[in-house]
C-alpha cells in the first residue's frame, strides 16, 4: 500500500515515521520546502518520549508533480482552511480507488473533501497524538493518544478495518468507530479547551491542567462548547472537561498546533475551533463569552503578525 501524507507538518511527519515501520510505502508531501529538504538531506529525526532520537528515511516532496507512484490512501493533515485548495493538488497522484482519510482538527473537513472526491472516497478520523515541529526535519513526539477511524456515516467498512490494522502495525493505538461525528465533536472540545489558551499564554499543553487560572479558562471554554453540542443534539459525556484535561496531561510536553502556528507567525485554525463554536452558538441564540474572548484575542494576535506594518511617516 502506498500512503501519501498530504500536509506533512508536525503530526503528519510523525505519522509518516510511524507508518514507515509497516510494509506500507510512505510519501510525505508538504509545502514547507525547508522541512522537506532537511528530511532529504538527513532523514526525519523524531525526538521520542523516552528521550531517544530516531531517524527515519522517508520519501518526501514539496511538489505533488514529482510523485510518480499513485497513492492508495491519502492522509489529509493540512490546515482546515487549506483543505479545498490542497486536495485537488494531489489528483494526479490518485487512482480510481484512492481514498482520503482526514485526521484534521475542527469540523466540516470530511464534508469539504467529499465535495471534491465524493463521499465514497473519504474516511474520517480523529487523533489525540501530539507532535511538535522543533526545526526543519525534526519533530518531537509530544504524547500518545487514541486514534479513531470510521466511515463518515454508518458502520466501519473493510477499508476502515484495513486502516486500523495498518495503524496498529505502526504501533499507534487505533480503534474503528461507527460514531465518528460524535468523536469529531469530542476532539473539537479538546482543541477548544487547549489550543487557544496555549497559543495566547505561550505555554505547553501540560500547564493547561496544572495552572489553576488556565484550568479554569479551559473548563469554562469546554462547558460552553458542551452547551452548543447539546443544543445540536450531540451526546457529550458529562466528564468532557476532565477528558480534555487528561489530553493536556497526556500531551504535557507538546506545544499545541495553534501554539506552533503562533510561534511561526502563521495563520491559526481559530475560526474552525473556538470561532466555530461561537458562530454555531450565535445561530442557536447562545452567548459564549469565553470562546468569544479567546477567538478575538487569537485573531488580534494573528493580525499583529499577519498584517503588514503601517507605512512609516516622517
Ligand atoms: O490536537 C491537538 C493540537 O495541538 O491541535 C492536541 C491533541 C491538543 C495536541 O496538542
| CA–centroid distance, residue 287 to ligand 1 (Å) | 25
Q: Read off the C-alpha cell for 189.
A: 472540545
CA distances for 38 relative to 6, 31, 138, angstroms = 18, 13, 8
pLDDT in tens, 124-178: 999 999 999 999 999 999 999 999 999 999 999 999 999 999 999 999 999 999 9
Helix H or strand E segment including 111:
helix 109-117
Is residue 288 pLDDT above 80, yes or no? yes
Percent of the chain with pLDDT strictly greater than 90: 97
| CA 247 to ligand 1: nearest atom | 7
**Sequence ranges of the chain with CATH classification 1.10.1040.10:** 182-304
CA-closest candidate to residue 270, choices 208, 198, 214: 198
Q: Is the CB of 209 under 6 A from ligand 1?
A: no
> In this model, does residue 309 exceed pLDDT 80?
no
Which CATH topology does 182-304 take?
A: 1.10.1040
CA of 50 to the centre of ligand 1 (A): 20
Q: What is the pLDDT of residues 98-116, one digit of tens each?
A: 999 999 999 999 999 999 9
Is the model's pLDDT at 287 over the cut of 90?
Answer: yes
Beta strands in 77-195 (DSSP E): 94-102, 122-127, 130-135, 138-143, 147-150, 174-176
pLDDT band at 244 (very low <50, low <70, confident <90, very high): very high
> Does the 2-178 domain belong in CATH 3.40.50.720?
yes
CB of 128 shorter than 6 A to ligand 1: yes
**pLDDT bucket at 313, cuts 50 / 70 / 90:** confident
Whether residue 4 is predicted with pLDDT greater than 80 in this model: the reply is yes
Please state, in angstroms and as integers, the Cα–Cα distance from residue 245 to each residue in 138, 146, 187, 191, 201, following that order. 27, 15, 12, 11, 16
Whether the CB of 257 sits within 6 Å of ligand 1: yes
If we measure between CA atoms, which residue out of 288, 177, 193, 183 comes closest to residue 242? 193
Cβ atoms of 79 and 32 closer than 8 Å? no
**To which residue does cell 465533536 refer?**
185
User: What are the start and end residues of each CATH 3.40.50.720 domain in the chain?
Assistant: 2-178
Amino acid at each position: 500500500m502506498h500512503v501519501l501524507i498530504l500536509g506533512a507538518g508536525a503530526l503528519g511527519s510523525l505519522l509518516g515515521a510511524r507508518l514507515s515501520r509497516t510494509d506500507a510505502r510512505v510519501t510525505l508531501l508538504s509545502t514547507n520546502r525547508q522541512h522537506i529538504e532537511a528530511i532529504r538531506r538527513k532523514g526525519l529525526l523524531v525526538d521520542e518520549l523516552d528521550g531517544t532520537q530516531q531517524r527515519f528515511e522517508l520519501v518526501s516532496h514539496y511538489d505533488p508533480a514529482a510523485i510518480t507512484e499513485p497513492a492508495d490512501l491519502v492522509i489529509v493533515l493540512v490546515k482546515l482552511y487549506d483543505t479545498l485548495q490542497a486536495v485537488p493538488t494531489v489528483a494526479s497522484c490518485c487512482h480510481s480507488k484512492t481514498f482520503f482519510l482526514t485526521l484534521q482538527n475542527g469540523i466540516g473537513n470530511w464534508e469539504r473533501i467529499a465535495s471534491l472526491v465524493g463521499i465514497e472516497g473519504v474516511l474520517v478520523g480523529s487523533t489525540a497524538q501530539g507532535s511538535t515541529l522543533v526545526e526543519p526535519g525534526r519533530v518531537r513526539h509530544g504524547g500518545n493518544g487514541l486514534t479513531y477511524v470510521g466511515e463518515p456515516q454508518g458502520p466501519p467498512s473493510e477499508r476502515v478495518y484495513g486502516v486500523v490494522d495498518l495503524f496498529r502495525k505502526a504501533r499507534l493505538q487505533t480503534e474503528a468507530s461507527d460514531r465518528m461525528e460524535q468523536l469529531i465533536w469530542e476532539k473539537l472540545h479538546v482543541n477548544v479547551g487547549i489550543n487557544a489558551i496555549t497559543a495566547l499564554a505561550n505555554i505547553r499543553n501540560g500547564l493547561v491542567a496544572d495552572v489553576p487560572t488556565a484550568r479554569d479558562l479551559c473548563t469554562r471554554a469546554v462547558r460552553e462548547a458542551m452547551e452548543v453540542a447539546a443544543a445540536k443534539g450531540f451526546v457529550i459525556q458529562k466528564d468532557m472537561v476532565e477528558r480534555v484535561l487528561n489530553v493536556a496531561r497526556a500531551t504535557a510536553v507538546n506545544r499545541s498546533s495553534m501554539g506552533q502556528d503562533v510561534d511561526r507567525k502563521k495563520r491559526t485554525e481559530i475560526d474552525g475551533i473556538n470561532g466555530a463554536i461561537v458562530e454555531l452558538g450565535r445561530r442557536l441564540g447562545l452567548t459564549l463569552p469565553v470562546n468569544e474572548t479567546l477567538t478575538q484575542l487569537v485573531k488580534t494576535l494573528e493580525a499583529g503578525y499577519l498584517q503588514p506594518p503601517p507605512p512609516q511617516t516622517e
